[in-house]
Amino acid sequence: MITTSDFPKYRGKMEYVCLGCQARFDIRELYYTCPHCGGVFLLEDTTFDSLLEYPASYWQGLFDKRASSRSTALRGVLRFYELMAPVMEEQDIVYLGEGHTPIVAANAALAELVGVPFAYKNDGQNPSASFKDRGMACAFSYLKHLVRVNGWDSVLTVCASTGDTSAAAALYAAYVGGPIKSVVILPKGKVTPQQLAQPLGSGATVIEVPGVFDDCMKVVEHLADNYRVALLNSKNAWRILGQESYAFEVAQWYGWDTYRKCVFVPIGNAGNVTAIMGGFLKLKKLGIIRSLPRIFGVQSHHADPVFQYYDEADPAKREFRAVPVTPSAAQAAMIGNPVSFPRVAHFAKEYEKIGGPGSFQVVQVTEQAIVEGMLLANRHGHISCTQGGECLAGLQKAKELGLIEASEEAILDATAHHLKFIGFQEMYFEDSFPAAYGVKADPKYVNRPRSIMTDADKAALTPEDYTAKAASAIVESLGLARK
């Protein structure tokens, strides 16, 4: 029997499963793509059905109790151990405070403005300030497990990134330390200063190459195919498992009732939307939730290959094509050839079998709507990044198209902290977006500091006169009435 006081006793039997040729491989080796056909992997616990021995109420109660656990190994995303990676020992699990991110409801004014009740799940409150920590906690725990059981004395982790992946990978590598070293490859000039600072601060080797994320990804894939490195992008199936915790936490927050809930997720490399669908499907299989929430993927018109695929109404005529990307404020989603697309197609088909038509959809939004979505959310008390703005724009678009009803409730994924993308807010306020973005400032969203005195004014006054003059200028500026 599994108890809440001890580390779980259950151990699954996990295998890599290729989505291309269905070949299976042992997890004692690191695999990223199928050596037979080049397809991407899922990780499958072949004994998962044995968990059905316990009723849904058992799992609900167990996970609710673990949410207050003082056990380090069960504090983070791996408190859902049996559903994710039940092959590791307690000593392998890495915890930096990831998971448990809050779901914050939109205030009445914002909900009325949008026309649908909704909330943000603030994944920017993870340790490196993005959702990527969920996947890294699982990936590094398994890597630590392999280092221990194989006695490896040197492991080089490598990832391509537009910022968030590199920050998370460098942070977790720095914490685990020992034989694990981190290298991150970034597109030169296309990462915000805040995001560049994070892997540098964690001690990673940072390499910049010309091009966009897709170019960096090709370099990383070449390294992983030809050299002994641990790839940490979403081709890493262990990372996808960690990101399933987002779905588990959403369900848990709502008391395991996901009826008439709609989850909006930005699509970049497509790993997160894949993981979220996979997580909800597991909960449904065990009866932990009674109905699947609807999933809306959101893409900018500057990087929209998944939208283009699903925009074809006839499934028989759909054909995936990579698209060239143009600059996007939703920088983490500026990917024209998502490596996890085969996973999306797989899970979307499974999702619609159970949830019915419309349970998975993709909407396209403009860059203007993305930036103004971020500003609108934050002006009502949120800490949304541009990807969170993309989700709000997606919700507004879905409402406009009649895809969501006012009686439903939406959960929007703010994937990173607002401060990582503060430069885009600044460009908007200064109306200085490069033409390629197609974003122009609307005065109703612009907010700039007000200057009331010069340094020379201050220098010419006594402290008392300065205080009185500054206060008088503020009174005049704000139109304050005396008590």
Q: Beta 180-187 vs 24-26: how paired, if at all?
A: unpaired
118 pLDDT above the threshold of 90: yes
Confidence of residue 3 (pLDDT cuts 50, 70, 90): very low
Per-residue confidence (pLDDT) for residue 384, from 0 to 100 = 96
Which tens digit of pLDDT belongs to each residue from 183-222?
Answer: 999 989 888 888 889 999 999 999 999 998 889 989 998 9
Per-residue confidence (pLDDT) for residue 314, from 0 to 100 = 94
* CATH fold of the domain at 103-127+239-437: Rossmann fold (3.40.50)
Q: Which of 92-96, 126-130, 189-193, 439-443 has the lowest mean pLDDT?
A: 189-193
The residue among 395, 381, 406, 408 whose CA lies nearest residue 106 is 381
What is the arithmetic mean of pLDDT over 280-292?
98
270 pLDDT above the threshold of 70: yes
Beta strands across the sheet bearing 41-45: 24-26, 14-18, 41-45
Q: Beta 230-231 vs 360-365: how paired, if at all?
A: unpaired
Per-residue confidence (pLDDT) for residue 161, from 0 to 100 = 85
pTM score, whole prediction: 0.94
446 pLDDT above the threshold of 90: yes
Which tens digit of pLDDT belongs to each residue from 10-62?
Answer: 999 999 999 999 999 999 988 999 999 999 999 999 999 999 999 999 999 99
Share of residues in the chain with pLDDT > 70 (%): 99
Confidence of residue 8 (pLDDT cuts 50, 70, 90): very high
What is the arithmetic mean of pLDDT over 452-472?
91
Q: Quick one: tokens of 333?
A: 């989603």
Task: Name the residue with higher pLDDT: 397 or 224.
Answer: 397
Confidence of residue 5 (pLDDT cuts 50, 70, 90): low
Confidence of residue 225 (pLDDT cuts 50, 70, 90): confident
- Half-sphere exposure of residue 304, counting CA atoms within 13 Å on the CB side? 17
Per-residue confidence (pLDDT) for residue 4, from 0 to 100 = 45
Which tens digit of pLDDT belongs to each residue from 314-358?
Answer: 999 999 999 999 999 998 888 999 989 999 999 999 999 999 999
User: Rounded to whole angstroms, how far apart are CA atoms 87 and 27?
Assistant: 10
Extents of the domains making up the chain: 103-127+239-437, 453-482
